[in-house]
Structure 1
Amino acid sequence: MDRELFAESWKMLVVRGVIGIVFGLLAIIWPLETAIALMVLFGFWALIDGISSLIEAFRSETQGSRLGLAVMGVIAIIVGLFAIFSPSVAANTLTLIFGIYLIIRAVFEVFAAFSSYRLTPRWLLLLGAALSLLLGIFFVANPGRGTVGIAVWLGLIALCWGLVFVAMGLIVRRGHVNPSPATPATA
């Protein structure tokens, strides 16, 4: 039984790895198209989430804030439709918001570096603040390029994970085909 499980698991690891490699390469080759496709997928998810929130708001069994669920449902539907019908603008907007977040985070990291209570060395917090600030400024100044940059990074990560999964699958297969001999127990 265990041998059958390993015989199948190595194949799934390799398949997952190949899918990761293909997705990674496509994201690197066509980063703008990747960002737009991901935004459209996000739009459908937000649309479904909004519809289900509205349904939940009007169910008789619902407890808690029906108004909150209804408002969140309407907002999710609007965001979902915006992402579906204008994905490039939505991606740029999210990148801009992310850039603002990184700039604000940098300010707090600098403050944390000079606060009296800290668990990490000051230089690490300042390094993190510098990276957050640089990325934040880049995203705010160039939301379009920032979106493409995020898609390329996502592609690189998927490519690396794909290679790891293929390697793991082949290692598992090699262990299944050539199982190591059991060491005899000493008496």
Structure 2
Amino acid sequence: MPGSTAVGDWLSVGWKMLVVRGAVGIVFGILAIAWPLSTAIALALLWGFWALMDGIGSLVQAFQPEAEGSRLWLVVMGVIALVAAFFAIFSPATTAVTLTWILGIWLIVRGVFEAIGAFGSNLATPRWLLLLSAALSILIGILFAANPGAGAVTIATWLGIAALAWGGVFVLGGLAVRRELTGHTTVIPPGAAPQP
């Protein structure tokens, strides 16, 4: 069957990549758990370089002929992104703390909206589940906003735990695919008739 051959070929190539991706996830997870502060700073640096590219892109776009009506908005957004990138790249520890504080405020606001939505919802989801989700969002948001330095380290640690679990799943998945492929291959000796 042509379709199964294509799937088999994809899986035979794919299991190695699954294992490699899983191994990378496990290594990243271990490093993030072992050095959460360094991980938080590295993430802030990555965000800073992304903001730098975004700011440059906005400024370039602002001076294109088709950006006539939104030129001012694009310039303002570009300048804000460049300022944020400057702080993130040259002061990543402060940026990690600031991002955690912003995340905390966002979680509190989200939790409040979830709680309000729980009483106005017509969904099949039980109200207590929506309220529990809202309470968790508010609680985690308060913890992050009240102590953003520890919050940045906590986020990096949880990111490491998630990467470790994700990596383990990928490695096990890749090995399972490999076992499945090798279990279905039968070697027929030369000159022997294949079994029906």
> TM-score, normalising length from structure 2?
0.85
Partner of residue 158 from structure 1, selected from 152, 157, 163: 163
1:109–1:60 CA distance, 2 compared to 1 (3 A):
closer
Amino acid at match of 2:15: W
Amino acid at match of 1:118: N
Amino acid at match of 2:180: G
Which residue of 2 is the match for residue 85 of structure 1? Answer: 90
Once residues 50 and 67 of structure 1 are traced to their aligned partners in structure 2, the CA distance between those partners, rounded to angstroms, is: 13
1:99 and 2:104 correspond: yes
Which residue of 1 is the match for residue 115 of structure 2? Answer: 110
8 A Cα contact 1:52 1:73, kept in partner: yes
- TM superposition shift of 1:108: 2.2
* 1:56-67 alignment runs, 5 A limit: 56-62=61-67, 64-67=69-72
- TM superposition shift of 1:82: 0.9
> TM-score, normalising length from structure 1?
0.89
- Over 4 Å off, 4+ runs: none
1:174 and 2:179 correspond: yes
Runs of at least 5 residues in structure 2 that lack an aligned partner in the other structure? 187-194
Identity of aligned residues (%): 60
8 A Cα contact 1:112 1:118, kept in partner: no
Q: Give SS of 2:122's match.
A: coil
Which region of structure 1 is more displaced relative to structure 2, 76-85 or 4-13? 4-13
Q: How many residues align?
A: 182
Once residues 93 and 39 of structure 1 are traced to their aligned partners in structure 2, the CA distance between those partners, rounded to angstroms, is: 10
Once residues 4 and 98 of structure 1 are traced to their aligned partners in structure 2, the CA distance between those partners, rounded to angstroms, is: 44
Runs of at least 5 residues in structure 1 that lack an aligned partner in the other structure? none
Once residues 181 and 117 of structure 2 are traced to their aligned partners in structure 1, the CA distance between those partners, rounded to angstroms, is: 51
Root mean square deviation of aligned Cα: 2.0
- TM superposition shift of 1:118: 3.2
Q: What do the CA deviations read for 1:75-105 (whole angstroms, capped 9, x no partner)?
A: 1111111111111111111111111122222
Q: Give SS of 1:118's match.
A: coil
Which residue of 1 is the match for residue 141 of structure 2? Answer: 136
Which region of structure 1 is more displaced relative to structure 2, 122-131 or 34-43? 122-131
Larger radius of gyration: 2
Which residue of 2 is the match for residue 25 of structure 1? Answer: 30
Q: What do the CA deviations read for 1:135-177 (whole angstroms, capped 9, x no partner)?
A: 0110111101111111111111111110111111111111222
